[in-house]
């Protein structure tokens, strides 16, 4: 089914020719101006609140940045002190190790000089054959039943 096209009728000639009275126009302009001023005040107060909020957020961010800077400075100082202490300890241990090595070398040299001297008593005491003789004597001293 196809419907018939709709026709829009023109306004009646009496309404088109009627003029709006001046008092009604003044009332409309007055209420429009009042609405515009109220909207402007509302937008201005919202703008002031937004700017105040932005300044508050900026101060908070600035304070947090300062705290972060202070914490970073504290941690870096403590890290520097720890590395300094550990490096001093490592250096001291290295020096102590070198002193210990020098002492060991000196004692070995003294012992070698003592052994290398032609001293018959020392040669008898440090003779490695004593291990063999001692082992045979120990085995012979054990009473093993046959």
Q: What is the pLDDT of residue 111?
A: 82
CB 115 within 8 A of CB 126: yes
The half-sphere exposure of 90 on its side-chain side, counting CA atoms within 13 A, is 6
Evaluate if pTM is beyond 0.85: no
- Tens digits of per-residue pLDDT, 38-91? 999 999 999 999 999 999 999 999 999 999 999 999 999 999 999 999 999 988
Task: Give the Cα separation of 51 and 85 in Å (integer).
Answer: 51
pLDDT exceeds cutoff 80 at 11: no
Reported as type and span, the H/E element at residue 113 is helix 22-116
Q: Which two tokens stand for residue 64?
A: 């947090």
Q: Which two tokens stand for residue 72?
A: 């970073």
8-state DSSP, 128:
T
CB 122 within 8 A of CB 115: yes
């Amino acid at each position: 089914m196809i419907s018939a096209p709709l026709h829009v009728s023109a306004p009646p000639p009496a309404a088109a020719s009627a003029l709006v009275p001046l008092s009604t126009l003044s009332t409309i302009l007055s209420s429009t101006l009042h609405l515009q001023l109220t909207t402007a005040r509302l937008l201005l107060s919202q703008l002031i609140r937004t700017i105040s909020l932005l300044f508050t957020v900026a101060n908070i961010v600035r304070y947090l940045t300062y705290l972060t800077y202070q914490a970073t400075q504290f941690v870096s100082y403590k890290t520097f002190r720890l590395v300094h202490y550990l490096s001093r300890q490592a250096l001291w241990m290295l020096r102590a190790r070198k002193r210990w090595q020098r002492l060991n070398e000196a004692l070995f040299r003294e012992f070698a000089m003592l052994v290398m001297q032609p001293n018959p008593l020392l040669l008898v005491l440090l003779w490695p054959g004593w291990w063999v003789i001692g082992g045979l004597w120990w085995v012979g001293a054990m009473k093993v039943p046959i």
